[in-house]
Amino acid sequence: MNERNRNYPEWDDNTYYTGPTEPPKNRGALVAMLLIFIIFLCGIVTVLGVLNIRLFQKLNREDPSQELAISFTTEETTSETQAPEATGEDREAKPAVHAGCTMDLQAAPKGVDTVPEGGGLSLQEIYAKNIPSVVSISCQSSRGTASGTGVVLSADGYLVTNYHVISGAQEITVLLTDDRSFTAQSVGYDAVSDLAVLHINAQDLTPARFGNSDSLRVGDTVVAIGDPLGVEFRGTYTNGIVSAINRDVSVNGRAMNLIQTNAALNSGNSGGPLINSYGQVVGINTMKIGAFTDKSGVEGLGFAIPSATVMEIVNQLISQGYVSGRPWLGIKGENFSSFYQRFYRVPAGLYITEVQPGSPAAEAGIVAGDILTRIDGESVSTMEALNNLLYAHQVGDSLSLVIYRAQGQATVTVTLTENKG
């Protein structure tokens, strides 16, 4: 065909033809993605709306029988405070009380330095001497299964471990190194020191020998025995040194005075022994500090409760089931985020999730859903702040608490009682 006879459109003087245009792009995929995003966003809004409604109902309940026995004054606060995740005062059924067992500390061998050169026991001797005194602990609860380690206190079945190992347990099973298994009974526990005493119906156990942690020096050789990651690795043996003594570490809002070590500790080591070069238990391993970054992981920061503290707490738990002098308020709570503060126009404070029956808080008329804003003039927005203020007082002290609920704000006075477990 002649080039001149092709079917070009007619041009006018003001039109420039650029050839056939490209077909329109398919926008179906884009529309579908947009619809999916909108549905996802609606789902998030719905969930947040349900949570907001529930919280709003708690904040605005109208139950005259639960009102504070004082008049309220209206006050709006817009200060913003953020805090760590919720913790609470632990108070469960009072455990059985036992007698006839006490824990004593042994001195280091006379005439031998704390860090002997070529003296003391070999690592193999330390392990052989202590492994019969180490037990594996498995706990069943509504949350699932938790595991830890324990140390034999007496030949007739008394054991010590960490409180956080057995906290909330519905059934506690103890596995000995000879593979015998027993159901354990809680004798007593102390959440403040993170210690608990258990008892099993067993005889002829090998009790550990406890040394005096006050004699430790930085640089002393220590070893740890435990069940890192559970029973599958029970009896794992690691060694290191005392990295620091009298180290203050904040644990769930409480300052604990601990031994720091670089002996490897992992989940499951909790409640196990930290042992000196003479084969004496000088601490109960309780925690480690780690990091979750890829390039700057933290290692060698393990901590143990000194044996001097363990002896003081354990002897009280065995004799009476609780530690004397622990002040008790009787509430559990969580931080009230700045988002909810602005959304509901409520003050910053600790949102109370539970008030334990018969507690000083309950007797003062405080109920779940209240917001605790101040104690003796000090701002409170976390359980850490609450515990720090609480444990700075003694049983019998009176505290002034500022409480907010839907009706307004009020001040109540509570008298701390003894926490008897």
Kindly report the CATH number assigned to the domain that includes residue 264. Answer: 2.40.10.120
Which of 269, 293, 320 is at the close of a domain?
Answer: 320
Q: In which residue are the tokens 């760590």 written?
A: 84
Could you tell me the end-to-end alpha-carbon distance of the chain, in angstroms, rounded to an integer?
Answer: 103
Q: In which residue are the tokens 């099973």 written?
A: 173
Look up the pTM and report it.
Answer: 0.64
> What pLDDT, on the 0 to 100 scale, is given for residue 76?
32
pLDDT (mean) for 194-216: 95
C-alpha 318, offset from chain centre: 24
Residue 395 inside a domain? The answer is yes
Q: Using the predicted structure, report yes or no on whether residue 64 has a pLDDT greater than 60.
A: no
Indicate if 337 and 409 belong to the same structural domain: yes
Query: Pick from 119, 130, 191, 200: which is nearest to 162 by CA?
Result: 191
The string of pLDDT tens digits covering residues 308-346 is: 999 999 999 999 998 988 898 988 888 877 787 788 788
Residue 28 inside a domain? The answer is no
pLDDT-above-70 percentage for the chain: 72
Exposed / middle / buried, residue 151 (Cβ in 10 Å: 0-12, 13-18, 19+): buried
Look up residue 129 and give its two tokens: 């001497």
Which of 320, 350, 370 is at the close of a domain?
Answer: 320
Indicate if 332 and 311 belong to the same structural domain: no
Residue 402 inside a domain? The answer is yes
Comparing 234 with 284, the larger pLDDT belongs to 284
Indicate if 309 and 333 belong to the same structural domain: no
Indicate if 167 and 118 belong to the same structural domain: yes
Residue 27 inside a domain? The answer is no
Residue 227 inside a domain? The answer is yes
Indicate if 311 and 332 belong to the same structural domain: no
| Cα separation values, 385 from 49, 236, 249, 252, 410, Å | 30, 37, 15, 10, 20
Indicate if 202 and 229 belong to the same structural domain: yes
Q: Compute the distance between CA of residue 355 and CA of residue 365 in angstroms, rounded to an integer.
A: 10
Q: What is the mean pLDDT of the chain?
A: 78
Indicate if 398 and 411 belong to the same structural domain: yes
Q: Using the predicted structure, report yes or no on whether residue 199 has a pLDDT greater than 60.
A: yes
Indicate if 135 and 178 belong to the same structural domain: yes
> What pLDDT, on the 0 to 100 scale, is given for residue 14?
38
Which of 300, 320, 340 is at the close of a domain?
Answer: 320
Pair 307, 211: CB distance under 8 Å: yes
Q: What is the tally of structural domains in the chain?
A: 2
Handedness of CA 133, 134, 135, 141 (dihedral sign): positive
Q: What's the full length of the chain, in residues?
A: 421
CATH at residue 384 = 2.30.42.10
C-alpha 346, offset from chain centre: 28
Indicate if 164 and 72 belong to the same structural domain: no
Domain that holds residue 239: 105-320
Helix (H, G, I), strand (E, B) or coil at 154: coil
Residue 336 inside a domain? The answer is yes
Residue 115 inside a domain? The answer is yes
Query: Pick from 300, 301, 302, 149: which is nearest to 235 by CA?
Result: 149
Residues with a known catalytic role: 164, 194, 270
Comparing 2 with 150, the larger pLDDT belongs to 150
Lowest-confidence region among 26-35, 170-179, 235-244 = 26-35
Indicate if 279 and 137 belong to the same structural domain: yes
Pairing status of strand 87-88 against strand 105-106: unpaired
Residue 373 inside a domain? The answer is yes
The string of pLDDT tens digits covering residues 152-165 is: 999 999 999 999 99
Indicate if 290 and 399 belong to the same structural domain: no
The string of pLDDT tens digits covering residues 174-187 is: 999 999 999 999 99
Indicate if 164 and 299 belong to the same structural domain: yes
Q: Using the predicted structure, report yes or no on whether residue 53 has a pLDDT greater than 90.
A: no
